Amino acid sequence: QQQVKQSPQSLIVQKGGIPIINCAYENTAFDYFPWYQQFPGKGPALLIAIRPDVSEKKEGRFTISFNKSAKQFSLHIMDSQPGDSATYFCAASKGNNDMRFGAGTRLTVKP
Amino acid sequence: DTEVTQTPKHLVMGMTNKKSLKCEQHMGHRAMYWYKQKAKKPPELMFVYSYEKLSINESVPSRFSPECPNSSLLNLHLHALQPEDSALYLCASSQGYNTDTQYFGPGTRLTVL
């Protein structure tokens, strides 16, 4: 059973565009929602994370929007660059480090 | 320093071989994890060690055997693997059992012939 649903599966934008990746979860016990960025042949790297007591968090060009009532959260990448081309995973955990990942979104930013 | 190191980077083994993967962190983290990641798929949790004790085992086949010799080291012993076990094996660590931020290593690319 997939506990975190992520969309789209792949995304292509032009440089400077704002890709948006969406995730939805079912388990209301989840209380921590990180986003990871993974380049080919590398391990996932934590990008940004949010807890359900805030609706938005921004770090540099990356913003998480969180809608607790809809059980959805999304990642926005402002002024996207070709170097942002990677696979992005959303995840959710419930305080016991049992983290569940979304299926991933392969982002391509064209020059 | 938020570095988790893994060795080897690549490993090719036959189905009758015995090999081990190693993971190390020096951040003082007390929880360490093994994940398996197939191509174009998300990481799948295999094992969690908290304070050097196995706390979560996601029903992984016995041909995978984890070991946590101390709080900085995590090993994954491999024996009689199958070709379908070929994957990227990722190690991660976090500060404590109830602390959520996990830091991943670069992974070991395993190929089983």
Q: Give tens-digit pLDDT for B21-44.
A: 999 999 999 999 999 999 999 999
For strand A105-110 and strand A10-14, is the pairing parallel, antiparallel, or unpaired? parallel
The letter for the amino acid at B34 is W
pLDDT at B1 over 70: no
Gap between the Cα atoms of B51 and B36, Å rounded? 22
pLDDT at B51 over 90: no
Tokens for A13, please give them: 């934008």
In this predicted structure, what is the pLDDT of residue B78? 96
- In A24-83, the residues whose Cβ lies within 8 Å of chain B are 32, 34, 36, 41-46, 49
Backbone angles phi, psi at A110, to 5 degrees: -85, 140
- CA–CA min distance B82, chain A (Å): 22
In this predicted structure, what is the pLDDT of residue B74? 97
Q: Percentage of chain B with pLDDT > 70?
A: 95
In this predicted structure, what is the pLDDT of residue B99? 61
Judge: A34–B90 Cβ closer than 8 Å, yes or no: no
Which residues of B fall within a CB distance of 8 Å from A41? 106-107, 109
Band the pLDDT of B101: cuts 50, 70, 90. Answer: confident
pLDDT at A2 over 70: no
pLDDT at A82 over 90: yes
pLDDT at B70 over 70: yes
Which residues of B fall within a CB distance of 8 Å from A34? 100-102
pLDDT at A3 over 90: no
The letter for the amino acid at B100 is D
The letter for the amino acid at B84 is E
Which residues of B fall within a CB distance of 8 Å from A95? 98, 100
Query: CB neighbours of A107 closer than 8 A, spacing ≥ 6?
Result: A10, A11, A12, A13, A19, A21, A77, A80, A84, A85, A86, A87, A88
pLDDT at B98 over 70: no
In this predicted structure, what is the pLDDT of residue A98? 74
HSE (CB half, 13 Å, CA atoms) of A105?
Answer: 26
pLDDT at B2 over 80: no
Band the pLDDT of B59: cuts 50, 70, 90. Answer: confident
Strands in chain B per DSSP E: 4-7, 10-13, 18-25, 31-37, 44-50, 53-57, 64-70, 73-79, 87-94, 103-104, 108-112
Contact indicator for B92, B4 with CB cutoff of 8 Å: yes
